[in-house]
Structure 1
């Protein structure tokens, strides 16, 4: 009987290149050394461990069967997109994965905090229950009964919310239900930081806008998004700036822009 053709090595390289990240970045996301990933991509490792194959398949959100037995280089762009997004099931977020959470003695979900020093590890460990269990946990009054997590933000793209604020967010399962201009924390594949933006769903992509008008809007593809957390509230040790005339004008401009976008969506 003729041996079955295996496309694991070429498929792994193709999937990484499609996400436009380096071997070093990809190895870090998978928890491998760069030399190990290189051996996989070049075929030097003829029989990779099953646990590694499963980890790679889950990371790229494809079946082990497709990873091993399908020659993805022969697929057209449309079919590759469907594979990477898992069709409507993945676009909605419902079949993305099971979210790792922790429970307190009262059988309620904890509010986990991802400190700045844990940001890099969150990309690799956000699906790992043991990593989530290692995060600091808090209990605050008057929080909704939902899956919540607290993230630190850095930078001035969402001013007047100051850099260093701790943003509390609710986990979003069905991304299609996000209303236009909803403030969210996004965890992006390959990103070096969390992204805090106003999100608008546009088909299979998301439009991201900053509160600070100095930053231009941009879009990301759904398959590049690992998690979306909707803004609930934030904590800060900084006092807000005085509410001057310039601030009032900016607020009015933002309100007008949002109204125009809403009306356009109704046409």
Structure 2
């Protein structure tokens, strides 16, 4: 679902501007701008760039996030004034990783832009990962060894499609498949080719228009050890806390 028309109305009203004032500010004909705001037409790429620069908001947010339901004041602003996803920190200033549990992954496509959905996710801090917007996603199947079924991969949010690199692994959030973890093959003008590390699976293409989010792989949490496998009633947070304690003990022994 694209939110561009609703976002244009909301952003204009937030600044108390008329349609004519916004159209003039973007150097667009008023009739053309009205069609974008009324949802009759979707702005082409060059116009999205103009809108993004006018409001200082990234194109991905303009298209895929309902800005009426989040606080722009709490969003992180980059040097070029693009706005990306909110970053929350703990009392020590460490970035918090939001965990998408297996039981909640089905609702991610409809809830990833909903403030209530994100706020209800469990969070942990892994300071050694450094800065960036992090999120942990569940892995299903055997297509990406050594990551086993039901383990988690932690990804860093990719704000710019130009940042993704061949042969690196990413979590792709798509309309058609939901959460997909794959290695990047070729990158074309309108699609990317993704590859499974398990050779029994064939590479395939994902259209850029099908992609909602991209997260660059930074680490994974394995669950091979039976004692770490939680039941449905166990907390995923407890699993991460146990891992954190293990890491701390290893550091002390060095």
| Secondary structure at the counterpart of residue 137 of structure 1 | strand
- Which residue matches 1:209? 195
- Aligned equivalents of 1:151 and 1:230: distance in 2? 11
Correspondent of 1:135 among 118, 121, 126: 121
Preserved CA contact (<8 Å) 1:112 1:135: yes
Structure 1: state its 5+ residue gaps.
Answer: 1-28, 31-50, 73-79, 240-267
Give the count of matched residue pairs.
176
Map 1:67-86 → 2, pairs under 5 A: 68=38, 70=40, 82=44, 86=48
Q: 1:103 deviation in Å?
A: 3.0
Q: Secondary structure at the match of 2:60?
A: coil
2:179 maps to which of 161, 172, 194: 194
TM-score by structure 2 length?
0.59
Alignment gaps of 5+ in structure 2? 11-32, 62-83, 226-254
Q: How far 1:172 sits from its partner (Å)?
A: 0.7
Give RMSD over aligned pairs.
3.5
Task: For residues 112-140 of structure 1, give each alpha carbon's deviation from its aligned partner in whole angstroms, at most 9, with x where no partner exists.
Answer: 10001111221112112222111000122
Does the CA contact (< 8 Å) of 1:54 and 1:64 recur in 2? no
1:184 is aligned to 2:175 = no
Structure whose residues are more often strand by fraction: 2
1:203-245 Cα shifts (integer Å, max 9, x gaps): 2211111000111111111121111001111111216xxxxxx
Deviations 1:124-174 (A, max 9, x none): 121122221110001224112111111110001112321111101111111
Deviation at 1:177, TM superposition (A): 2.1
Instruction: Report the counterpart of residue 46 of structure 1 in structure 2.
Output: none
Task: Determine helix, strand or coil for the equivalent of 1:211.
Answer: coil
Native 8 Å contact 1:101 1:133 kept in 2: no
Identify if the C-alpha distance between structure 1 residues 104 and 141 changes in structure 2 by more than 3 Å, giving closer, same or farther. Answer: closer
Give the whole-Å Cα distance in 2 for the aligned partners of 1:235 and 1:169: 11
How far apart, CA to CA, are the structure 1 residues paired with 2:47 and 2:171? 20
Using the alignment, how far apart are the partners of 1:117 and 1:64 within structure 2?
42
Distance between the aligned counterparts of 1:223 and 1:103, measured in 2?
Answer: 32
1:66 to 27, 30, 36: 36
Secondary structure of the residue aligned to 1:142 is helix
Q: Summarize the Cα distance change of 1:237–1:150 in structure 2 as closer, same or farther, 3 Å threshold.
A: same
SS at 1:99's partner residue?
strand
> Is the aligned partner of 1:54 residue 2:6?
yes
Q: Tell me, in whole angstroms, the C-alpha distance in 2 between the residues paired with 1:197 and 1:64.
A: 40
8 Å CA contact 2:95, 2:125 repeated in 1: no
1:134 to 1:85, Cα distance in 2 relative to 1, 3 A: farther
Deviations 1:77-103 (A, max 9, x none): xxx79459946999xx94211424433
Q: Which TM-score applies when normalising by structure 1?
A: 0.56
